[in-house]
Every structure is written in structure tokens, then in C-alpha cells.
Amino acid sequence: MNNVIIFADGGSRGNPGPAACGYVIYTPDVNVHPSTDALLYALSSTPIHSGGDYLGVTTNNVAEWQGVIKALEWVKKNMEDVNQLFIFLDSQLVVKQITGEYKVKQPHLKPLKQQVDQLLKVCEYYEVQHVYRKDNALADEQVNIVLDNQ
């Protein structure tokens, strides 16, 4: 069984504008719970994988969603037996939409929400939490690396 910690981010230069997403993935060798322990673990550890993708011209919000999707796709493809999954984002809006606290009203975002919901089935237990931008610096760095290279 694996525990997985994801930090995801997205951004556009202009809104809409050239956009990218980024993510950083950790696999703690200890059982972390709750998300505060996962956050502390990740901030003092080395990630096992990081990546980012150019998304073309789109909005900041779409880029944030894509950061989660790309990270979850990587986990699904590369890891087996995911027990606990902790996802950290600096977009409070996307966190509240994923957790169901806010409804996803925009028609173009509904498929992204459905995709995340489907991908979250890769694990038995998950938490999605908001973090301050400073704690999401590595995922943000991935976004900027991709945008700078376009």
C-alpha cells in the first residue's frame, strides 16, 4: 500500500492567456494522517516526481484543474495500491469545488470535475486541502518552467 502526497498548481499569463500546470508528488514511507502531517512530511522531503504541461491559451481556473488531473493521471499510471492520497492546492476555489463545498457551475469546468472524481477512485481515502502559495512553491515553479520554455 502506498501513501501519496500531491502538490498541484496552474497558471496563465493573462486570464485567459498562455497557461500551464505543474505538480509535485511524494510517497512517504510512513503512514501520515491527517493532512497536516502529510504537509509537514512533504515540506521536509524530496519528491519522487515532478512535472508540468503546456495547456495553450486558457484560464487560470482551467490550469488549476489540469494540475490536479495531470498529477492524478501520473499516479494512476505509475503507482499501484494507493491507500491514502493527500492533495494540496493554493486555489481555494478549486479545493472547495473538488470537495463539493462549492458547485461547479461553469459548463466548461464540469467535465474537469468529473475527470477528477473518476481519477480519485484510484485510492481508498483522500483529502484535498488548501495551502498558502509559499507552501506550493515547487508546483508553482513547474508551471513557470513550462511557461518560460514556450
DSSP letters spanning 85-122: EEEEES-HHHHHHHHTSS---STTTHHHHHHHHHHGGG
**Gap between the Cα atoms of 79 and 56, Å rounded:** 28
Can you give the pLDDT at residue 34? 63
Can you give the pLDDT at residue 24? 97
- CATH of the structural domain 2-148, one choice from 3.50.30.60, 1.10.3720.10, 3.90.700.10, 3.30.420.10: 3.30.420.10
Can you give the pLDDT at residue 60? 96
pLDDT tens-digit series, residues 1-37: 688 999 999 999 999 999 999 999 998 876 776 667 7
Q: Which residue blocks in the chain are alpha helix, DSSP H?
A: 35-43, 60-78, 92-99, 110-119, 137-148
Is the CB of residue 87 less than 8 Å from the CB of residue 68?
Answer: yes
Q: Is residue 52's pLDDT more than 80?
A: yes
Can you give the pLDDT at residue 106? 96
How many residues would you count in the chain? Answer: 150
**Gap between the Cα atoms of 30 and 42, Å rounded:** 12
pLDDT tens-digit series, residues 98-149: 999 999 999 999 999 999 999 999 898 999 999 999 999 999 999 999 999 9
Report the pLDDT averaged over residues 45-71: 97
Sheet architecture: strand order including 2-12: 49-58, 17-26, 2-12, 82-89, 123-130
